[in-house]
Structure 1
Amino acid sequence: MSGSILLGIFWHFVGAASAACFYAPFKQVKNWSWETMWSLGGFFSWIILPWTVSYLLLPDFWAYYGSFSFATLMPVFLFGAMWGIGNINYGLTMRYLGMSLGIGIAIGVTLIIGTLMTPVLQGKFDLLLTTSGGQMTLLGVAVAVVGVGIVSYAGLLKERALGIQAEEFDLKKGLILAVMCGIFSAGMSFAMDAAKPMHQAAEQVGVSPLYVALPSYVVIMGGGAIVNLGFCFVRLAVKSNLSIKADLSVAKKLLITNALFSILGGAMWYFQFFFYAWGHANVPEQYGYMSWMLHMSFYVLCGGIVGLLLKEWIGVGRKPVRILCLGCLVIILAANIVGMGMAS
């Protein structure tokens, strides 16, 4: 396995670690509605940071975006909006299925669809079936799905041991939302593929190969921002028990603390894709679609590791922890299989 591929896998792990930890600052927010907290964090994650980073990278910010036709930008934007819908469904899935079952189904679906639909859309799916490298990557995807399932099962045992239940458990509704979340969340993978002309243009104006994907985030996350912020603002306007005015009327010290924690959570959410771009840049171009598989499987892996480090598994017994560790090892094995497939 080449050093570049190993580096790509490493950066995908770093990005996934940021994703696994991003909600920790949000948990420190007090006396604010979820909508206000999510909107402020999202504003920095989907608008402020992508625009700022791109402005610093590009020699002529406006000329770069003005060089693309509507036909080039629109699919990138719409796939970003598709990813944004997946974000909303993700939260609803947790509501009706609980964290472990919801994550297992949603991540499993988006891992498969986001990884395999890209070569299908490119008309290259036959390469997965007829080449040794393609067959290895398919095996890696299958092993990753098994690993995600094992970790999710461990989480389900943990929730049962601790007496944790979904807010409004509804298996039928939850399963529908989980599948929808998995499908729509794969929009980020599709958006990255559709944004290749933007990556190439960024490289042509002197942007380092490590950073060429970042300017496309202005468009991708712009689509996601409109969906997420629109959803939050509508809820704040319609729901009588939700009010921005009430959220902003808390004590000044708490107001500042809440704002800082929300911004930190949003920044960590953005940096998962910052490092995703670094990992993607080190993956061989013909296997670019595998970036999504690495990111999503590492997301589950890092979530398990973070839970252990934060001592969330204390008191659940040995069996769930052993199953969690087994699932983590299976995901690591999947990453190695994919790495060997890309190197062959």
Structure 2
Amino acid sequence: MLIVLGVIYHFIGGFAAGSFYIPFKEVRRWSWESYWLIGGLASWLLVPLLAAWLTIPDFTAIILEADPVTLLWTYLFGVLWGIGGLTFGLTMRYLGLSLGMSVVMGLTSAFGSLVPPIYRDLFTDASEQTLTAMLASAGGHWVLWGVAVSLVGIAICGRAGMMKEREVSEETKQRSVAEFSLGRGLTVAVISGVLSACFSYAISAGHPMAAEAVERGADPLFQNNVSFVVILLGGLTTNALWCLGLNARNRSFGDYANRETPLVRNYLLSVIAGTTWFLQFFFYGMGESLLDNDASSWVLHMSFIIVVSNLWGLFFREWQGTSRRNRQVLIVGVVTILLSVLMVGYGNYLR
């Protein structure tokens, strides 16, 4: 039952991750950097602090007393993940929910599974869960083949995007995805997919703080909430610097007080989007605590996001005006990515 509950928590987290961008679609007459920053302040600062305060006794003391090396790596991985989160937002802007999420999550699943074993091989004395150990085990073979299949699925999704760009008029593209650009979108999607996997590494780096939280009486279900404060502060650093830089370059600082825009509505929608974004981590942490397998948890999270985001993509008619064959190619790509995610999950189970 604990495993089933863990899977349910991952589904809720995946649903939140696949849905968070929807409120941003309703923000009116604000620049992208303005609503992304307001959403980020909610998701990477205010809501994580509130969640930690509600669930972790003396969470500030745990952070202040933590080993500086633990804090440094947790924060740095958060900074790298923040770049992934920033380019993730740009991916949604240029590719839309269905295509953008599929490409990013496929890459994130692959790199989230491969990089830790390679790191252990090169920089630690570990004998288990290394790339060498993966190559010598049936489970490792499943993971590696799953990564290869995910890259095939991503290529198929990219093919679907190229077909869409040829088939659909600019007017139709902009009705579904206002700034659709396959070239820009795929570029930022690759960056996002690689660096978004750093969130998984950051949770591992912050595990000593989570363990200390349990020692001080926190419910193990919420133990990762103390790590999230540090991780998301790293993400906020990256995104705030970029968005403020864009505000200065585009002269969009006036958005925050422009009474000619629906100010209250825009702030509210941005905060809702940011809060929804954080909920993916909140429920991911609960699911990971129950499954006690970070790699499998990451894979489950990715698969649910891919499913949910593509359902939303269909709902918002992001593929309106495309041929039946174009949509079939997209479906084949998404199914291939989901198959790869299941292969990686099964491989981690065998390991």
Pick the TM interval, shorter chain: 0.7 to 0.9
Contact 1:31–1:250 (CA<8 Å) still a contact in 2? no
Q: Output one character per residue of 1:208-231: Cα deviation in whole Å (capped at 9) or x when no partner.
A: 332211211100000110111122
Match of 1:213 in 2: 224
TM-score by length of 2: 0.82
Match of 2:112 in 1: 114
Match of 2:199 in 1: 188
Match of 1:274 in 2: 282
CA distance in structure 2 between the partners assigned to 1:224 and 1:79 by the alignment: 9
- Counterpart of 2:228, as a letter, is Y
Moved more, 11-20 or 268-277: 11-20
Structure 1 residues 94 and 256: CA distance shift in structure 2, 3 A: closer
CA distance in structure 2 between the partners assigned to 1:60 and 1:149 by the alignment: 47
Match of 1:89 in 2: 87
Moved more, 223-232 or 296-305: 296-305
- Counterpart of 1:111, as a letter, is S
**Percent identical across equivalent pairs?**
38
- Counterpart of 2:300, as a letter, is L
Q: Does 1:225 align with 2:236?
A: yes
Match of 1:150 in 2: 156
Q: Output one character per residue of 1:204-263: Cα deviation in whole Å (capped at 9) or x when no partner.
A: 2222332211211100000110111122122223433x223x4413258x2111111111
Match 1:237 to one of 221, 225, 248: 248
Match of 1:131 in 2: 137
- For the residue of structure 1 that corresponds to 2:223, the secondary structure is coil
Tell me the CA shift for residue 121 of structure 1: 2.1
CA distance in structure 1 between the partners assigned to 2:205 and 2:155 by the alignment: 30
Match of 2:126 in 1: none
Contact 2:299–2:345 (CA<8 Å) still a contact in 1? no
Moved more, 177-186 or 118-127: 177-186
Q: Output one character per residue of 1:82-132: Cα deviation in whole Å (capped at 9) or x when no partner.
A: 11122233455667x745776665544433222211122234222322222
Match of 1:300 in 2: 306
Match of 1:337 in 2: 343
CA distance in structure 2 between the partners assigned to 1:334 and 1:7 by the alignment: 23
Structure 1 residues 24 and 299: CA distance shift in structure 2, 3 A: same
Match of 2:33 in 1: 35
Structure 1 residues 206 and 135: CA distance shift in structure 2, 3 A: farther
- Counterpart of 1:204, as a letter, is E
Contact 2:38–2:271 (CA<8 Å) still a contact in 1? yes
CA distance in structure 1 between the partners assigned to 2:314 and 2:285 by the alignment: 28
Match 2:328 to one of 319, 322, 333: 322
Moved more, 19-28 or 201-210: 201-210
- For the residue of structure 1 that corresponds to 2:220, the secondary structure is coil
Structure 1 residues 133 and 6: CA distance shift in structure 2, 3 A: farther
CA distance in structure 1 between the partners assigned to 2:225 and 2:99 by the alignment: 32
Moved more, 276-285 or 214-223: 276-285
Q: Does 1:250 align with 2:259?
A: yes
Q: Output one character per residue of 1:173-209: Cα deviation in whole Å (capped at 9) or x when no partner.
A: 7766544333332221221121111221122222233
CA distance in structure 1 between the partners assigned to 2:344 and 2:73 by the alignment: 28
CA distance in structure 2 between the partners assigned to 1:265 and 1:168 by the alignment: 21
- Counterpart of 1:283, as a letter, is L
Query: How many residue pairs end up in the alignment?
Result: 335
Contact 2:153–2:337 (CA<8 Å) still a contact in 1? yes
CA distance in structure 1 between the partners assigned to 2:180 and 2:329 by the alignment: 27
TM-score by length of 1: 0.84
Match of 1:65 in 2: 63
CA distance in structure 1 between the partners assigned to 2:179 and 2:335 by the alignment: 31
RMSD: 3.0
Contact 2:23–2:270 (CA<8 Å) still a contact in 1? yes
Q: Output one character per residue of 1:307-344: Cα deviation in whole Å (capped at 9) or x when no partner.
A: 12334334423223333333343344334434433443
CA distance in structure 2 between the partners assigned to 1:227 and 1:182 by the alignment: 16
CA distance in structure 2 between the partners assigned to 1:179 and 1:291 by the alignment: 22
Moved more, 69-78 or 100-109: 100-109
Match of 1:14 in 2: 12
CA distance in structure 1 between the partners assigned to 2:192 and 2:349 by the alignment: 32
Structure 1 residues 73 and 114: CA distance shift in structure 2, 3 A: same
Q: Which runs of 5+ in 2 are unaligned?
A: 122-129
Structure 1 residues 206 and 152: CA distance shift in structure 2, 3 A: farther
